[in-house]
Amino acid sequence: MRAVPKPAEPPRGWRERLEALRNVPPLLKMVWETSPFLSLSTILLRFVAALFPLATLWVAKLIIDLVVRAIRHQSFDRSAIWKLLILELILAFGSDALGRFISLVDSLLGDRFTNHVSIKLMEHANSLDLVSFEDPVFYDKMERARRQTTARLGMLAGLAGMAQQLLTLLSLLSAVIFFSPWILLLLIAATLPVFFGETRFAMLNYSLLYRYTPERRELDYLRYLGASNESAKEIKIFGLGTYLADRSRGLFERFYNENRHLAIHRAIHGTLLGLLPTGAYYAAYAFIITRALAGRLTVGDLTLMVGAFSRARTIMENLVSGLVGVSEQALFIKDLFDFFQTDPTIASPPDSIPAPRPIRHGFEFQDVSFAYPG
């Protein structure tokens, strides 16, 4: 009988979307339990790395102001300029080294986290009733939870990266606010529509993947069945190769068509909404240039402001995109914690008699009955 996907679920409200973020603290707790040393290391490294962009821009501003002053007054303080240049070089080397150490720590922490969650998943599955594994609804829940053991590594890196970018943004905005607070308000107002639009499509994407969990599981099984040495003889004897291929093709096409439709609409809406922050950036850019032409900014100040505003704009867009991604992946993390909250219906009493080791005389059942549910 041909499986038919469940009807599309309407997008959840903002309350449900925000509630999904409640899964983030338990996830971070699991990360800390995996390795406190590596977790603390990535926090400290990212905190230091977050201050480097503003420091680099500030040193560049000082260098440019010294050069302009030297040209105007026909003097050249070589020692001061070379010291600043060496300082900027040290900052560049330090930023590169920190980035490599952060990648190393994230990689090690990700490997340990995957193993930690996988073992925890296996231990919890072992504690559940055998009848649970015969329930397709439970099996779909377990399949979604199993996928999260490796699929959510990107979320961990995204959360850490967002924290680092937020610190960098705050340091850069200190310069922007000092120059003109309304530029910051303009930039924030222009990025809000992008956030709301991306969040809506993130919910639609989660709804699509959730509905197609049984079909995706069946597709994985058909792919394994059609290309496995364990089933090759039976498939050839009964001529099932064409049927399995057609069945797989049909399942894939139905999922692909819906996913393509959603991806196209997401790209179109994202492009249109992306015009707002771009327009706001160049409006503020023009204002900064106007102030510089009026003599209210030095060349170094102009360089600092343009660099800080440009990076702040990029970071804000990345934060919006990252927050949407985290809220989307938090919905998937819910599947993992829902599985951990599944309790067995059969529990051994605290005063139960342990089974003998080794078993020498077998078991004898008296006045014991059994019936299938329903």
Give the pLDDT score at 5. 41
Q: Please report whether residue 79 resides in a domain.
A: yes
Alpha-carbon distance of 223 to 272, in angstroms, equals 39
Strand (E) or helix (H) holding 72: helix 52-72
Q: Please report whether residue 1 resides in a domain.
A: no
Q: Which residue has the higher pLDDT, 144 or 17?
A: 144
The confidence band for 3, taking pLDDT boundaries of 50, 70 and 90, is very low
Give the pLDDT score at 2. 40
Residue 302, phi-psi category: left (phi > 0), alpha (psi -120 to 50), beta (remainder): alpha
**If you average pLDDT over every residue of the chain, what do you get?**
80
Q: Which residue has the higher pLDDT, 26 or 182?
A: 26
Give the pLDDT score at 345. 74
Encode pLDDT of 226-254 as tens digits.
777 777 788 888 888 888 888 888 888 88
Does the pLDDT at position 1 exceed 50? no
> Contact at 8 Å (CB) between 103 and 164?
no
Alpha-carbon distance of 326 to 266, in angstroms, equals 17
CATH number of the domain within which 38 lies: 1.20.1560.10
Give the pLDDT score at 11. 42
Does the pLDDT at position 40 exceed 60? yes
Q: How many CB atoms lie within 10 A of CB 267?
A: 11
Give the pLDDT score at 327. 72
Does the pLDDT at position 277 exceed 90? no
Alpha-carbon distance of 273 to 193, in angstroms, equals 7
Where would I find the H helices in 180-298?
A: 181-211, 213-226, 232-238, 241-293
Does the pLDDT at position 14 exceed 70? no
Encode pLDDT of 145-197 as tens digits.
777 666 566 677 778 888 888 888 888 887 777 777 777 777 777 777 877 78
Q: Please report whether residue 366 resides in a domain.
A: no
Structural domain harbouring 301: 14-340
Q: Please report whether residue 352 resides in a domain.
A: no
Does the pLDDT at position 90 exceed 90? yes
Give the pLDDT score at 87. 92
User: What mean pLDDT do residues 341-363 have?
Assistant: 75
Does the pLDDT at position 206 exceed 90? no
Does the pLDDT at position 314 exceed 50? yes
> Contact at 8 Å (CB) between 63 and 150?
no
Q: Please report whether residue 361 resides in a domain.
A: no
Q: Please report whether residue 365 resides in a domain.
A: no
Does the pLDDT at position 223 exceed 90? no
Give the pLDDT score at 13. 54
User: What mean pLDDT do residues 315-324 have?
Assistant: 78
Q: Please report whether residue 130 resides in a domain.
A: yes
Give the pLDDT score at 37. 93
Encode pLDDT of 67-83 as tens digits.
888 777 766 667 888 88
Q: How many CB atoms lie within 10 A of CB 209?
A: 17
Q: Please report whether residue 369 resides in a domain.
A: no
Does the pLDDT at position 6 exceed 50? no
Residue 74, phi-psi category: left (phi > 0), alpha (psi -120 to 50), beta (remainder): left
User: What mean pLDDT do residues 33-43 have?
Assistant: 90
Count the alpha carbons within 13 Å of 274 in the hemisphere toward its beta carbon: 11
Burial of 5 per CB tally in 10 Å (0-12, 13-18, 19+):
middle
Give the pLDDT score at 18. 66
Q: pTM to 2 decimals?
A: 0.64
Structural domains of the chain, count: 1
Alpha-carbon distance of 323 to 166, in angstroms, equals 11
DSSP state of 361: S
Does the pLDDT at position 275 exceed 90? no
Residues 194, 200, 205, CA angle at the centre, nearest 5°? Answer: 120
